[in-house]
Amino acid sequence: MKTLILPASDPATVSQAAEIIRAGGLVAIPTETVYGLGANAMDEEAVAKIFLAKGRPQDNPLIIHISCAEELTRYCHDIPEAAWLLAERFWPGPLTMVLPVKPCVPKRTTAGLSTVAVRCPKTQVTRELIRAAGVPIAAPSANLSGKPSTTTAAHVLHDYGTGGRIDAIIDGGPCEVGVESTIVDLTGEKPRLLRPGGITPEELRDLLGELEIDRAVLAQISDDTVVRAPGMKYKHYAPSAEVYIVSGSSEAAAAYVRRRFTEGDAVLCFEEELPLFAGCNPTAYGKYGDMKTLSAGLFAALRELDRPEIKTIYARCPEGGGIACAVGNRLKKAAAFRVVDPEADQ
């Protein structure tokens, strides 16, 4: 069986994809963050196919995607006021909320947790698909487990081929945000940020008044640690090369890389720095002066650098709040939190 490529603009796409979802198949869906690998969240067997296709550990729960905030009450109970406020402000959009789960949601979807992660994506074709299928769609990022997330239909094709490992891909063009959704856990005493994304910590604090930052956001978590978002402990987003973040000024970082550069090395930098890294195999992932281009371009650049001849990648990483928080988190995870300071190595 072949994998169908369904253009988002084709009027037949929604009904074709909805039929596949209802029949228990897998459809890669475009969202504003990254492409997801979708199946009927209420169908254990369909959900099992996601884990198999991705090579995903069974203890890593899935996000369920709904078409509007009102659907929250079907799958969650004890929904706090904060959830409705967040939904009103940021949905549809790149925000996922963790809430107490109703028993109707299969354990395979939630990995047996008492909570479920829920998101209403902005991309219209995907919300139409959820409505047409009449079920929530469980979808992790559509990359093979451990690889950088997929931000184009071509990335999804690259990971799964056309041979029918997944039933269809809806091609909605490149993802606008480019990093996965912000995850907020609303089941504790205080709202807690589990993963930074397109909705920034500042925006959340503005609305909620308070926000705890989970330690998995800031540091490497070892495999035996219990974490709130189980996915945060796994190696992520990584090309096969070793990635090192080189901090400091552009000039100091370029001097540091020049001293070390050998065959098999590559540089991942800001567009403004390309001339400084000339001769060191540089790839730019966006403009430092326009942070949104960094989030939009990060995964495509990491995928481009995922080539056997590249053994070491020196990466430049934005610091600070806003969207830089999410970009920095993904890059640091790709680098297993290895950060070198060029000023300390003259």
Q: Where along the sequence are the contacts to Mg ion (CB under 5 A)?
A: 141
Choices 13-21, 30-38, 206-214, 256-264; region in contact with ligand TXA by CB under 6 A: 30-38
Closest residue to bound ligand TXA by CB: 231
Which residue in 25, 30, 36, 93 binds ligand TXA (CB under 6 A)?
36
Shortest distance (Å) from residue 56 CB to ligand TXA? 8
Mapped onto helix, strand or coil, the DSSP state of residue 117 is: strand
Q: Is 77 helix (H, G, I), strand (E, B) or coil?
A: coil
Least distance in angstroms from the C-beta of 331 to ligand TXA: 16
What token pair was written down for 311?
């053994």
CB 321 within 8 A of CB 211: no
Q: What is the DSSP code (8-state) at residue 118?
A: E
Stretch binding ligand TXA (CB under 6 A), from 139-147, 156-164, 294-302, 320-328: 139-147
Least Cβ distance, residue 191 to ligand TXA (angstroms): 13
Count of alpha carbons within 13 Å of 177, Cβ hemisphere only? 27
Query: Is 136 one of the binding residues for ligand TXA (CB under 6 A)?
Result: no
Minimum CB separation of residue 168 from ligand TXA in Å reads 15
Question: In angstroms, rounded to a whole number, what is the distance separating the alpha carbons of residues 340 and 324?
Answer: 18
Rounded least distance, CB 13 to ligand TXA, Å: 18
Question: Tokens in use for 100?
Answer: 């107490």
Q: Which is nearer to Mg ion, 61 or 318 (CB)?
A: 61
Q: Cβ distance 236 to 149 under 8 Å?
A: no
Q: Starting from the edge strand earliest in sequence, which strands make up the sheet with 212-213, in order?
A: 4-7, 168-171, 27-29, 36-40, 137-138, 63-65, 115-119, 95-100, 182-185, 192-195, 212-213
* Region from 71-79, 109-117, 200-208, 259-267 binding ligand TXA, contact rule CB under 6 A: 109-117
Q: Which 179-238 residues touch ligand TXA, going by CB under 6 A?
A: 180-181, 183, 194, 228-232
Query: What is d(CA 310, CA 261) in angstroms, rounded to the nearest whole number?
Result: 12
> What minimum distance in Å lies between the beta carbon of 30 and ligand TXA?
9
Cα gap 152→175, rounded to integer Å: 7
Residue 36 binds which of ligand TXA, Mg ion, none (CB < 5-8 A, kind-dependent): ligand TXA
Q: Are 236 and 147 in contact (CB under 8 A)?
A: no
- Please choose which of ligand TXA, Mg ion, none residue 117 contacts, taking the beta carbon within 5 to 8 angstroms, the exact cut-off set by kind: ligand TXA
CB-nearer residue toward Mg ion: 25 or 140: 140
Options 13, 31, 40, 200; binder of ligand TXA; rule CB under 6 A = 31
In sequence order, the β-bridge partners of residue 97 are: 118, 184
299 membership: H or E segment, kind and range: helix 291-304
Bridge partners (DSSP) of residue 155 are none
Which one of Mg ion, ligand TXA, none interacts with residue 253, CB within 5 to 8 A by kind? none
Q: Under the rule (CB under 6 A), what is the footprint of ligand TXA?
A: 31, 33-34, 36, 60-63, 96, 98, 110, 113, 115-117, 119, 139-141, 180-181, 183, 194, 228-232
